[in-house]
Structure 1
Amino acid sequence: MNTNTSAAPRPLAAPFTDGLRNGVLRYQRCTACGGTQTLARYACQHCGERWALDWRDAAGAATVCAVTEVARAPSDEFRALAPYTLALVQLDEGPRLMAHATAGVHIGDRVHAGFFDHQGRTLVRFAPAP
């Protein structure tokens, strides 16, 4: 007889996606070397330390590093949004993140994270900083 009543483990990226649903942008920070990353990992991408990562809330301020206009959506899920802008941004806390952006942002622009719902998911959209 199996007496294990524990719940299924949470997905690795759950703190990130939970944050998005609550209007908070999160990233991982390594307690060993101070490196930061936005993609959820079990080890630090900078020093390789395992299990030394904690989740932090970002302020949402960033600088645009690259921009592209998507004219042809990669899937039916995003077809309704096309054309749309994607930007690679560097958060003030250090890590880089690719996300949606308002049309007209340029490399070097200061932007701030906002959120929007699309087909049951919360996505990030950067807009010019006030």
Structure 2
Amino acid sequence: MSTEQKNKINLVVNSESKPYWEGAAKGQLLIRACNACGKVHHYPRTICPHCFSEDTAFVEASGNGVIYSYSVTRQAKPPYVIAYVELDEGVAMLTNIVDCEIDKIRIGQKVRVKFSEAGDGYALPVFTSA
């Protein structure tokens, strides 16, 4: 198996999520905002989970947030961290924490988005210490 095949992530890209993945490929973290109730949400689906309106649009998030919860998988080689990050905009997203010392990660730690190559011209938002 080539390195390219090992690093390729199977993303679900459909008409609803394609702008999200295209934004990530350009270094933009997009979330959905509802024009009816004014709330934002993630994962970026067309229908607002707060008021069920279909009047939603993509907006660019700041990319800044804090670790809400995390788990370290040490049995993997190399070990990795999966976390819920609460963005400054108020939504939480499931992601990976990268490029930092695993033993220094803490709940409430400030993080910022970066993008990891996902194959097929797409990128995956991950987070690192701010």
How large is the Cα RMSD of the aligned pairs? Answer: 1.8
- 1:70 deviates by 2.7
- 1:82 deviates by 4.3
The residue number in structure 2 matching 1:110 is: 110
Q: Secondary structure at the match of 2:72?
A: strand
Counterpart of 1:126, as a letter, is F
- Separation in 1, partners of 2:28, 2:93: 14
Go from structure 1 to structure 2 and tell me whether the alpha carbon gap of 1:46 and 1:72 turns closer, same or farther (over 3 Å shift): farther
Do 1:62 and 1:111's aligned partners in 2 also have CA atoms closer than 8 Å?
A: yes
The residue number in structure 2 matching 1:99 is: 95
Query: Pick from 14, 38, 45: which aligns with 2:42?
Result: 38
- 1:67 deviates by 0.5
Q: Which moved more, 1:81-90 or 1:109-118?
A: 81-90
Higher Rg: 1
- Separation in 2, partners of 1:72, 1:33: 44
- 1:105 deviates by 2.1
TM-score by length of 2: 0.77
Counterpart of 2:30, as a letter, is R
The residue number in structure 2 matching 1:123 is: 124
The residue number in structure 2 matching 1:83 is: 79
Go from structure 1 to structure 2 and tell me whether the alpha carbon gap of 1:54 and 1:72 turns closer, same or farther (over 3 Å shift): farther
Unaligned runs of 5+ in 2: 1-13
The residue number in structure 2 matching 1:68 is: 71
- The number of aligned residues is 112
Tell me the alpha carbon deviations over residues 32-56 of structure 1, each in whole angstroms, 9 at most, x when there is no partner.
111111112231111111x211100
- 1:122 deviates by 1.5
- 1:95 deviates by 1.3
- 1:123 deviates by 1.5
The residue number in structure 1 matching 2:22 is: 18
- Separation in 2, partners of 1:82, 1:119: 20
Q: Which moved more, 1:116-125 or 1:26-35?
A: 116-125
More contact order relative to length (CA 8 Å, sep ≥ 6): 2
Q: Which moved more, 1:27-36 or 1:110-119?
A: 110-119
TM-score by length of 1: 0.77
